[in-house]
Structure 1
Amino acid sequence: MTLRIVPATAFSHEDIAGCFTQAFEGYLAGSMLLTEATLPRFLARQGADLALSRCVVSDGALAGLTFVGEYERRRRIGGMGVLPSARGTGASRLLLSRVIEDARAAGIAAMELEVFVQNAPAVALYRKTGFIDGPPLWGFTREPGGKLAGDADSPQTLTTSQAADWLITHGQPGLPYQTSGYALQHADPGLTFWRLGDALMGFTETSPQRLSVPLLVDANPAQADALRLVNTLLHRHPQHHVRVPQLMRDDCAAEAWRRAGFVALDIHQMQMRLPL
Structure 2
Amino acid sequence: MTDSTPDRPSFTFVRGDDVPAQTLHAAFIAAFSDYLNGPFEIPLAQWPLLLARQGVDLALSRVALDGAGAPLAFALVAPRPLSARWRLATMGALPEARGTGAAPALLDDVIARAAAAGLRAVELEVFAQNERARRLYEGRGFEKLHDLFGYVAEPGVIPPSTASPPHAIDMPHLLGWLDAAERRIPDLPLQVTAATIRHGVDYHGWQIDGGQVVFSLPDETVMVHSLIAPDGNAARLLIQALAAVYPQRRLRVPQLQREDLGGGTLRALGATPQPLHQQLMWRPL
Query: Is the TM-score greater than 0.5?
Result: yes
1:166 has 2:174 as partner = no
Deviation sequence 1:134-154 (CA, Å, 0-9, x none): 110111001122361642432
Deviation at 1:33, TM superposition (A): 2.4
Q: Distance in 2 between matches of 1:25 and 1:125?
A: 20
> Is 1:229 aligned to residue 238 of structure 2?
yes
The secondary structure found in structure 2 opposite 1:175 is coil
Provide the residue aligned with 1:121 in structure 2.
132
CA distance in 1, matches of 2:194, 2:200: 13
Given the superposition, is the C-alpha separation of residues 147 and 6 from structure 1 closer, same or farther in structure 2, using an over 3 Å criterion? Answer: closer
**TM score, norm. by length of structure 1:** 0.93
User: 1:247 matched to which residue of 2?
Assistant: 256
Aligned residues: 272
**Closer, same or farther in 2 for the Cα pair 1:143/1:22, shift >3 Å?**
same
Percent of residue pairs identical? 33
Q: Does the CA-based 8 Å contact 2:54-2:191 persist in structure 1?
A: yes
Q: How does 1:249-268 map to 2 (within 5 A)?
A: 249-268=258-277
- The equivalent residue for 2:6 is none
Q: Where do 5+ consecutive residues of structure 2 fail to align?
A: 1-8
Decide which of 20, 23, 26 is 2:28's aligned counterpart.
20
Q: Out of 57, 65, 78, which is 1:69 matched to?
A: 78
Aligned to 1:89: 100
1:40 alignment partner in structure 2: 48
Q: What do residues 139-198 of structure 1 show as CA deviations (whole Å, max 9, x unaligned)?
A: 1001122361642432111122211211222352221111123333x3312211111111
| CA distance in structure 1 between the partners assigned to 2:41 and 2:143 by the alignment | 29
Structure 1 counterpart of 2:149: 138
Q: Which ranges in structure 1 are unaligned for 5 or more consecutive residues?
A: none
Deviation digits for residues 45-97 of structure 1 (CA, Å, limit 9, x no counterpart): 11110000111112321122111011222100111111110112212101111
CA contact (8 A) 2:11 2:65 kept: yes
Indicate conservation of the 8 Å contact 1:139/1:268, yes or no: yes
Task: State which of 190, 196, 213 in structure 2 corresponds to 1:177.
Answer: 190
Q: Give SS of 2:123's match.
A: strand
Change (3 A) 1:205 1:149: closer
**Quick one: which of 173, 190, 209 aligns to 1:197?**
209
CA distance in 2, matches of 1:82, 1:160: 37
3-state SS, counterpart of residue 146 of structure 1: coil
- Secondary structure in 2 matching 1:248: strand
Give the equivalent residue in structure 2 for 1:2: 10
Do 2:123 and 2:280's aligned partners in 1 also have CA atoms closer than 8 Å? yes
Distance change >3 Å, CA 56–CA 237, structure 1 → 2? same
Per-residue displacement from partner, 1:238-263 (whole Å, max 9, x unpaired)? 11122110111111110121122100
Q: Calculate the TM-score normalised by the size of structure 2.
A: 0.91
